[in-house]
Structure 1
Amino acid sequence: METPATLNPADAEKISALKSAVSTLNQISENEKSGFINLVSRYLSGEAQHVDWSKIKTPTDEVVVPYESLTPLSQDPAETKKLLDKLVVLKLNGGLGTTMGCTGPKSVIEVRNGLTFLDLIVIQIETLNKKYGCNVPLLLMNSFNTHDDTLKIVEKYSNSKIEIHTFNQSQYPRLVVEDFSPLPSKGNDGKDAWYPPGHGDVFPALFNSGKLDALLSQGKEYVFVANSDNLGAIVDLNILNHLIHNNNEYCMEVTPKTLADVKGGTLISYEGRVQLLEIAQVPDEHVNEFKSIEKFKIFNTNNIWVNLKAIKRLVEADTLKMEIIPNPKEVDGVKVLQLETAVGAAIRFFERAIGVNVPRSRFLPVKATSDLLLVQSDLYTLSDDGYVVRNPARTNPSNPSIELGPEFKKVANFLGRFKSIPSIVGLDSLKVTGDVWFGASIVLKGKVAFTANSGEKLEIPDGSVIADKNVSSPQDI
């Protein structure tokens, strides 16, 4: 692989040394080695894309299409089957549940009624396949962290009416900051020495695994990519129909920003193309403007639809040069760097790429136990076909804001502190601080805060109804 000509002599030397060190790492494939060297070369050449703030334009409705104005869907089930037979669903399954105190893939955390994220995804696709007599396969992109566990878990679906395929995203060595050498060649060759390079890697990983060609040979045309922890990311026939009718190679689902989403990436029109703008690319003096919900009204849900032939064309031509996200870490006291890319940043390389401004219900991620509280409460119900549906009794379009203290961070501790999940249909906000325990059948309304004084345990009795109160002792109830 050619080293970019823009490297200065010192950096060219670094790359040369890195190449010889990486060539001895027999844990990874030749594709992974060259992909990694390519990424580091681009990083050193300072290829970071700087945005000229004055050239940013707000996208028109042709570029970010309102959901209501998508191409109308035929009501004929035979037409729907034709659409679905062109589709593949791909869930990003590389994340571990470590932030929530779980071992193994995050997708096996129980969400509702004893069902995990993965169970719900399988039920949803199986229902579609049965209803329309189609064959929508499920692909799981694992990382080396989740691969072995996922293979064991997938066995339980062997009798399901659904084809499940797994493939791994790339495994790259972490870079030692001090001398730009790969960490595994320093004698540390455990899992900590490696990293998966972000979900932007989905395109080369799909290609290198052979899955892309296999799908194309089966007549598949579009892949719907989403995070496995986003309960709102279900197959949407209206979007698929619109893309096929309009030959859009790429579609990013965006949704209106609220104050909780100010850091999320947004879509802009830039030099005639639609492009993702992330907070990391924004000059310091414009950060507040970026965070305002007046100018940048939408954010990226990371629900992405992409044409498979277009992926093949761009990967083969090596033109998918997404912005590099440097992620500094520390392993056993050694400062390391991992370079990553994001799937949303690829939008500018595809032809007729669009955004679709979707309802908020399509963005329901579970990143922490506070999100788990929302989806396990009476704010949502679970339908037979695996969909998590919002309770129509909730009149406020936005969800309550929930802040739980560190005692609730791990799923096991969180579940142990609630005899049952409180009713929160009428809740605006909840803040819990300290050693608080909840009884059964509690109802919370308005703005509620619970604070256990240091060294004390605060128990909320069964059946309590608490509205617009700050509770720090049983007498406050």
Structure 2
Amino acid sequence: MAAATLSPADTEKINNLKSAVAGLSQISENEKNGFINLVARSLSGEAQHVEWSKIQTPTDEVVVPYDSVAPCPEDSSEIKKLLDKLAVLKLNGGLGTTMGCTGPKSVIEVRDGLTFLDLIVKQIENLNSKYGSNVPLLLMNSFNTHDDTLKIVEKYKNSNIEIHTFNQSQYPRLVVDDYLPLPSKGKTGKDGWYPPGHGDVFPSLLNSGKLDSLLSQGKEYIFVANSDNLGAIVDLKILNHLIQKKNEYCMEVTPKTLADVKGGTLISYEGRVQLLEIAQVPDEHVNEFKSIEKFKIFNTNNLWVNLNAIKRLVEADALKMEIIPNPKEVDGVKVLQLETAAGAAIRFFDKAIGINVPRSRFLPVKATSDLLLVQSDLYTLQDGSVIRNKARTNPANPAIELGPEFKKVSDFLSRFKSIPSIVELDCLKVAGDVWFGAGVTLKGKVSIVAKAGVKLEIPNGAVLANKVFLFH
């Protein structure tokens, strides 16, 4: 893919941007250069257009079925050797604002009074004590979550796990009208800046010094996952496979359901494996992209990456991931955030593969409806891992739709005296001013709708099965 050249008008834009960015004292030289490069790439129109006819379905060599991954050694000294090559990185830049919380999303309580971060620390502590290994945990924060996270990790200082935090890049938002940075126009508060997506994890690992420090400790692989994916626990089978086969990059994918039709998928393209996102799909093929028949898997954003390969590619400035433009508005000013995604880096690594993992490795909590699932009797906690109840025969989780009254975590919690039993639930829809008593059981398909102005209380111990409840 040849780099496109800039028109004279765009060259002038970049020169003006360079001089404006040079005056921003809040960010480092690395951040300034990274930002200018990203803007120049986006102006050059180097966007990767996928030729639909060239897309091929990946073979089992490229997207390996989980069942065909060799079992991991059983000897605990061999397991320790594996774990000593591993570091775990959680993407911790997001705030809990969509769920009505302040501060990092990772400190929302998920279950039994434990937060996402508590569970992650417990999982790794458990591995380290069981095998005598030293798996460190890295948290990549954004400028939004940095200060809070530093305070929060204090409570783990006596645990047997090294916790490192570092910040991803901070880039200025671009004013659409004149392509100048918003902070150079007096917007110097947080509104003037943005974190440029999790594709930034690779340069930020190097720029922060964390990458060299991990390499000097003999670490070879890093397992990267979203901090809100409760299914993303260390998998020794996958780690062992990558070390044996010398795969530099592995993306965990899982079978697509109707809820995941917009998720990125893996394709074989011109002899390499790459991520295909909905934004790259020509309009006339969007329905085909969303179909479960042709594209059967989607990206969980659980990624395993070789540390030496990251160093080689970042130093060579070779990770030119597709740019995702994210338009926003700040105080009536139209601005642009240019972002990249870590999954899109797959095509730059040697021997990159996908592994088609069980759905249990993808359990994200994006909304209170997901919180209902993980706080219910559908799951139990074991060593910090969320384990699914064997009594549930249906492999899919219930589809849950809660009205806006349940959107904030505090409102959600106050509306349930206890979380209902949902082991036999297929789908639930709740709309209006609904309150749940203790010990409620939901089975089959349940819809509860309270009309405006009606307060509906479901009594303690009620069993609702396959019913539509309409309250006028």
Q: Establish whether residue 444 from structure 1 lines up as the match of residue 442 from structure 2.
A: yes
Structure 1 residue 471, shift from structure 2 partner: 1.1
Q: Under a length normalisation based on structure 2, what TM-score does the superposition of the two structures give?
A: 0.99
- Superposed, which structure 2 residues align to 1:336-375 within 5 Å? 336-375=335-374
Q: Return the letter of the residue paired with 2:92.
A: N
Q: Establish whether residue 305 from structure 1 lines up as the match of residue 304 from structure 2.
A: yes
Structure 1 residue 73, shift from structure 2 partner: 1.6
- Superposed, which structure 2 residues align to 1:25-40 within 5 Å? 25-40=24-39
Q: How many residue pairs get matched?
A: 470
**Alpha-carbon distance between aligned partners in 2 of 1:442 and 1:409, rounded to the nearest angstrom:** 20
Q: Return the letter of the residue paired with 2:240.
A: N
**Alpha-carbon distance between aligned partners in 2 of 1:13 and 1:405, rounded to the nearest angstrom:** 50
**Alpha-carbon distance between aligned partners in 2 of 1:177 and 1:70, rounded to the nearest angstrom:** 48
Q: Establish whether residue 433 from structure 1 lines up as the match of residue 431 from structure 2.
A: yes
**Alpha-carbon distance between aligned partners in 1 of 2:196 and 2:270, rounded to the nearest angstrom:** 28
What's the counterpart of residue 178 of structure 1? Answer: 177
Q: Secondary structure at the match of 1:468?
A: strand
Q: Return the letter of the residue paired with 2:262.
A: K
Q: Return the letter of the residue paired with 1:298.
A: I
The answer to which of 179-188 and 220-229 deviates more is 179-188
- Tell me, yes or no, if the aligned pair for 2:4 and 2:46 is still in contact at 8 Å: no
Structure 1 residue 455, shift from structure 2 partner: 1.2
Structure 1 residue 457, shift from structure 2 partner: 0.8
What's the counterpart of residue 52 of structure 1? Answer: 51
Where does structure 1 differ by over 6 angstroms across 4 or more consecutive aligned residues?
A: none
- Tell me, yes or no, if the aligned pair for 1:458 and 1:472 is still in contact at 8 Å: no
Q: Deviations over 1:160-200 (max 9, x none)?
A: 00000000000000001111110001111110110000000
State the identity %.
83
Q: Secondary structure at the match of 1:82?
A: helix
**Alpha-carbon distance between aligned partners in 1 of 2:465 and 2:211, rounded to the nearest angstrom:** 54
- Superposed, which structure 2 residues align to 1:336-415 within 5 Å? 336-383=335-382, 385-415=383-413
Give the direction of change, closer, same or farther, for the CA distance of 1:5–1:19 in structure 2 (3 Å limit).
farther
Q: Return the letter of the residue paired with 1:355.
A: G
**Alpha-carbon distance between aligned partners in 1 of 2:71 and 2:259, rounded to the nearest angstrom:** 32
- Tell me, yes or no, if the aligned pair for 1:407 and 1:435 is still in contact at 8 Å: yes
Q: Deviations over 1:357-390 (max 9, x none)?
A: 000000000000000000000011111x111000
Structure 1 residue 410, shift from structure 2 partner: 0.3
**Alpha-carbon distance between aligned partners in 1 of 2:353 and 2:258, rounded to the nearest angstrom:** 24
Q: For structure 1, which runs of at least 5 residues remain unmatched after alignment?
A: none
**Alpha-carbon distance between aligned partners in 2 of 1:328 and 1:447, rounded to the nearest angstrom:** 39
- Tell me, yes or no, if the aligned pair for 1:112 and 1:375 is still in contact at 8 Å: yes
- Superposed, which structure 2 residues align to 1:2-401 within 5 Å? 6-383=5-382, 385-401=383-399
Q: Return the letter of the residue paired with 2:385.
A: Y
Q: Deviations over 1:399-454 (max 9, x none)?
A: 00000011100000000111110000010110111111111100000110111111
Q: Establish whether residue 417 from structure 1 lines up as the match of residue 415 from structure 2.
A: yes
**Alpha-carbon distance between aligned partners in 2 of 1:22 and 1:356, rounded to the nearest angstrom:** 41
Q: Under a length normalisation based on structure 1, what TM-score does the superposition of the two structures give?
A: 0.98
**Alpha-carbon distance between aligned partners in 2 of 1:186 and 1:455, rounded to the nearest angstrom:** 47
Q: Return the letter of the residue paired with 1:56.
A: I
**Alpha-carbon distance between aligned partners in 2 of 1:209 and 1:27, rounded to the nearest angstrom:** 16
Q: Secondary structure at the match of 2:74?
A: coil
**Alpha-carbon distance between aligned partners in 2 of 1:264 and 1:444, rounded to the nearest angstrom:** 30
Q: Secondary structure at the match of 2:32?
A: helix
- Tell me, yes or no, if the aligned pair for 1:71 and 1:245 is still in contact at 8 Å: no
Structure 1 residue 5, shift from structure 2 partner: 6.7
Structure 1 residue 10, shift from structure 2 partner: 0.7
**Alpha-carbon distance between aligned partners in 1 of 2:200 and 2:44, rounded to the nearest angstrom:** 20
What do you get for the CA RMSD once the two structures are aligned?
A: 0.8
